[in-house]
Chains A and B, each alone.
Chain A
Amino acid sequence: MTRISRALLALLALAIVAFSAWALVDNAPLYLKTLLNGLTLASLYFLVASGFTLVFGLMRNVNLAHGSLYLLGAYVGWVVGDHTGSWLLAVAAGFLSAAVLGLLMQVFVFRHMEGQDLRQTLVTIGLSIVLADLMLWGFGGEIYTFDPPPLIYGSTVLPVVEKFPTYRIAVLIAAIVIGIGLWTFLARTRVGMMIRAGVDDRGMLAASGVNVQLVFAITFAIGAGLAGLAGVVGGTALSISPGEDTRYLLASLVVVIVGGMGSVVGASIGALLIGLAEQFGLAYAPTYSVVFTFVIMVVALAFRPRGILGRAA
Chain B
Amino acid sequence: MSAAQWRRAMNSAAAAAAPTVRVPPARPRTALPTSAANEVATSWWTRWFARIRARHVVVLVAIVVYPFVASPFFAYQIGAQALALGLIALSLTFLGGYGGMVSLAQMSVAGLAGYGVAIFGTSSAAAISLGWPWWLATALAIVVATAFAAAVGWLSVRTEGIYTIMITLAIGVAFFYLAQQNYTVFNGFQGFSKLGVPEVLGVESRDPVPFYFVALACALAGYFLVKHLVRAPFGIALQGIRDNPRRMASLGYAVTAHRVAAYAVSGLLAAVGGVLMAWYNGRISPGTVNLSAMISILIIAVLGGMKHPIGAFVGAIVYVLLQNFAIDLFVRERFNLVIGAGFLAIVLFSPDGLLGLWAKLRSSLVKTQTPQQTRRQL
Main secondary structure of the interface of A (DSSP, over half): helix
Question: CB-CB < 8 A to A287: which residues of B?
Answer: 181-184
The CA of A291 and the CA of B182, in the complex, are separated in Å by: 10
Given known A123-B348, A294-B174, A298-B155, contact A261–B337 (CB-CB < 8 A): no
* Complex contact A119–B167 (CB within 8 A): no
| A82 close to B (CB within 8 Å) | no
A288 touches B336 (CB 8 A): no
Interface-centre pick from B159, B290, B302, B334 (highest chain A CB count, 10 A): B159
User: A62-B162, A253-B170, A305-B159 known; A137 and B334 CB under 8 Å?
Assistant: yes
CB contact under 8 A between A119 and B334, given known A253-B170, A257-B167: no
> Can you name the residue of chain B whose Cβ is closest to the Cβ of A306?
B159
* A24 contacts B by Cβ under 8 Å: no
Whether A119 lies near B347 (C-beta < 8 A) is yes
Kindly state the separation between the CA atoms of A137 and B343 in the bound complex, as whole angstroms: 19
Contacts of A64 in B (CB 8 A): 169
A104 close to B (CB within 8 Å): no
CA distance A123 to B340 in the complex (A): 10
Question: Is A289 positioned at the interface, with any CB of B under 8 Å from its CB?
Answer: yes
- Of the listed residues B290, B291, B295, B302, the one surrounded by the most CB atoms of chain A closer than 10 A to its CB is B291
What does the 1/0 interface line of A249-272 toward B look like (CB < 8 Å)?
Answer: 110011011000100000000000
Q: Would B347 and A126 count as touching, CB distance under 8 A? A: yes
Complex contact B163–A250 (CB within 8 A): no
In whole angstroms, how far apart are the Cα atoms of A55 and B41 in the complex?
A: 58
B302 / chain A contacts, CB cutoff of 8 Å: 122
Say if the beta carbon of A297 comes within 8 Å of chain B. Answer: yes
B-binding residues in A (CB < 8 A): 60, 62, 64, 109, 117-119, 121-123, 125-127, 129-130, 132-134, 136-137, 246, 249-250, 253-254, 256-257, 261, 286-291, 293-294, 297-298, 301-302, 305-306
Among B166, B302, B343, the most chain A Cβ lie within 10 Å of the Cβ of B166
Instruction: Tell which of B158, B181, B298, B344 touches A123, judged by Cβ atoms closer than 8 Å.
Output: B344
Q: A130-B337, A301-B158 are in contact. Are A62 and B174 (CB under 8 A)?
A: no
| C-alpha gap A117/B100 in the complex (Å) | 12
Choose from B162, B170, B343 the contact partner of A125 (Cβ within 8 Å): B343
Query: Does B130 sit within 8 A of A, measured CB to CB?
Result: no
A290 touching B347, Cβ below 8 Å: no
Alpha-carbon distance A250/B177, docked complex (angstroms):
10
Q: What is the CA–CA distance of A298 and B102 in the complex, to the nearest angstrom?
A: 19
Residues of B within 8 A of A (CB): 102, 155, 158-159, 161-163, 165-167, 169-171, 173-174, 177-178, 181-184, 290-292, 295, 298, 302, 334, 336-337, 339-341, 343-344, 347-348, 351
B14 vs chain A, min Cβ distance (A): 33
Query: How many whole Å from B167's CB to the nearest CB in chain A?
Result: 6
- Please determine whether B170 and A254 come into contact, CB atoms closer than 8 angstroms: yes
Q: Decide: B181 and A289 in contact? CB cutoff 8 A.
A: yes
Say yes or no: A305-B158 contact (C-beta < 8 A), given A119-B351, A132-B336. Answer: yes
CA distance A129 to B342 in the complex (A): 11
A118 proximity list for chain B (CB < 8 A): 102, 162, 165
Contacts of B290 in A (CB 8 A): 246
CA–CA, A163 to B103, complex, Å? 45
With A126-B343, A133-B334, A305-B159 known, 5 other A-B pairs at CB within 8 A are: A126-B341, A126-B347, A129-B292, A130-B337, A253-B169
The answer to whether B162 and A290 touch across the interface, beta carbons within 8 angstroms, is no
Q: Which of A109, A286, A290 has the most CB of B within 10 A?
A: A290
Minimal beta-carbon separation of A266 from chain B (angstroms): 14
Residues of B near A291 (CB, < 8 A) are 178
The smallest beta-carbon distance between A161 and chain B, in angstroms, is 26
In contact, B173 and A250 (Cβ under 8 angstroms): yes
Bound together, the chains give a CA A119 to CA B334 distance in angstroms of: 25
CA distance A118 to B344 in the complex (A): 13
In contact, A129 and B174 (Cβ under 8 angstroms): no
4 closest A-B pairs (Cβ-Cβ)?
A129-B340, A126-B344, A133-B336, A130-B340
* B158 partner residues in chain A, CB cutoff 8 A: 301-302, 305
